[in-house]
Amino acid sequence: MQYIEVFAPGTVANLGCGFDVMGLTLDGVGDRMRIGVEPGADGLAISNRSGKELPARMEDNVITPAVMAMLEAYGRPVRVEITILEKIAPGSGIGSSAASSAAAVYGVNELLGRPFPGERLVEFAMMGEALIGGTPHADNVGPAVLGGVVLIRGYEPLDIVRLPVPDDFFYAVVHPDIVVSTKEAREVLPREIPLHDAVTQWGNVGGLVAGFALGDMALIGRSMHDVVAEPCRKGFIPGYDRLKGEVLSEGALAMNIAGSGPSIFALAADKAVSERIAERMQGHFARLGIGCKMYAGRVSNRGARIVES
């Protein structure tokens, strides 16, 4: 059996207006796992040494459907062994499940001699998202596999565009100690959108994409605005509107819910500002008696990769 160690980063999905179609990659937080393959043999084994609680049954782990979809497409017998060494806290809203399935399919593909291009790996990793959310979306697995800012132009067929990350682009993410399942957060969304809101939303998605393509931070900031999901989901997060006002007055380009929450992210053109914002977010939840984890760093261009063991 041949082994490698692989890392896949945490991600922020939606970026405000881009529900299910945009995401970006975080530096400094992610999943690390040891992966082994043995061509000619059969079976998948997953063990967890991360210290984080994961589903006891292998069928309930997002890695299983992602790797099984890949092996089925590969069409030849392979035994895969995965040991999870570090894990983003499940349910955090910064792409915990995506990081697991992205790292797994990336690592197996490397060990098999890269039979699949990056876009196919995203499709396999999406099977893990389908297991937990019911809908196979790619706005976390896309950036987790490919890195950078990602637009999913279409799902049928999958059409992914990587956008450049501005040089000085920093994030603050706070994960409050409250539970909001992706399933629950999707159920509160409207099934129909008034035309006026749709016009606002697609104007902003266009503005966001143009902002990244042009490296125009101010355009990115004012486009990261959401009239569809944020109004329905912010009620899950205590004091959301007040916090948003504070974070924007602290100099953030934008603040919104990270994916389906409960994490919140803000973006800034300055590292010191992103760190101040992370502390302000943490203070907000502390005042409400809610513990939280905070992360601050650079928006990254790098997706899943092999790391030194």
Q: What contacts 24+ positions apart, CB below 8 Å, involve 209-213? A: 209/151, 209/163, 212/149, 212/163, 212/164, 212/165, 212/166, 213/163, 213/164
Minimum CB separation of residue 36 from ligand HSE in Å reads 29
- Collapse the DSSP code of 186 into the 3-class scheme (helix H, G, I; strand E, B; otherwise coil) and give the result: helix
Among 4, 6, 13, 26, binds ligand HSE (CB under 6 A): 13
Q: Which of 123, 182, 230, 250 is catalytic?
A: 182
The answer to the question of residue 140 lying near ligand HSE (CB under 6 A) is yes
In the complex, minimum distance from the CB of residue 170 to ligand HSE, in angstroms, rounded to a whole number? 22
Choices 55-63, 114-122, 137-145, 146-154; region in contact with ligand HSE by CB under 6 A: 137-145
- Give the residue with the Cβ less far from ligand HSE, 6 or 258: 258
Residue 294, strand partner residues:
174
Phi and psi angles of residue 180, each rounded to the nearest 5 degrees, phi first? -135, 115
Spatial separation of the C-alpha atoms in residues 247 and 214, rounded to whole Å: 25
Residue type at 142? Answer: G
Hey, which residues between 178 and 197 contact ligand HSE (CB under 6 A)?
182, 185-186
Nearer to ligand HSE, 74 or 155 (CB): 155
Identify the residue among 260, 263, 282, 300 touching ligand HSE (CB under 6 A). Answer: 260
Count how many Cα atoms sit within 13 Å of the Cα of residue 283 in the half-sphere of its side chain.
10
Identify which range of 68-76, 134-142, 163-171, 214-222 contacts ligand HSE by CB under 6 A.
134-142
Number of residues that bind ligand HSE (CB under 6 A): 12
CB of 22 to ligand HSE, least distance (A): 9
Angle, to 10 degrees, between the axis of helix 63-74 and the axis of helix 96-111? 30
Strand partners, 39: 78
Is the CB of 50 or the CB of 256 nearer to ligand HSE?
256
Closest to ligand HSE by CB, 19 vs 170, is 19
Residues 153-182 that bind ligand HSE (CB under 6 A): 182
Degrees (nearest 5) of the Cα angle 110, 28, 236?
110
Task: Out of 31, 123, 139, 230, name the contact with ligand HSE by CB under 6 A.
Answer: 139
> Least distance in Å: CB of 242 to ligand HSE?
23
CA 89 remoteness from chain centre: 12
SS3 288: coil
Q: Residues 90, 54: contact at Cβ < 8 Å?
A: yes
Nearest C-alpha neighbor of 150 from the set 98, 111, 115, 200:
98
Round to whole Å and give the CA distance between 248 and 309: 40
129 classed as catalytic: yes
Which of the following is catalytic: 25, 64, 129, 250? 129
By CB under 6 A, residue 137 contacts ligand HSE: yes
38 is catalytic: no
Site for ligand HSE in 205-244 (CB under 6 A): none
d(CA 262, CA 64): 25
CA distance 67 to 109: 10
Catalytic positions, please?
Answer: 129, 182
Binding site for ligand HSE (CB under 6 A): 13-14, 19-20, 137, 139-140, 182, 185-186, 259-260
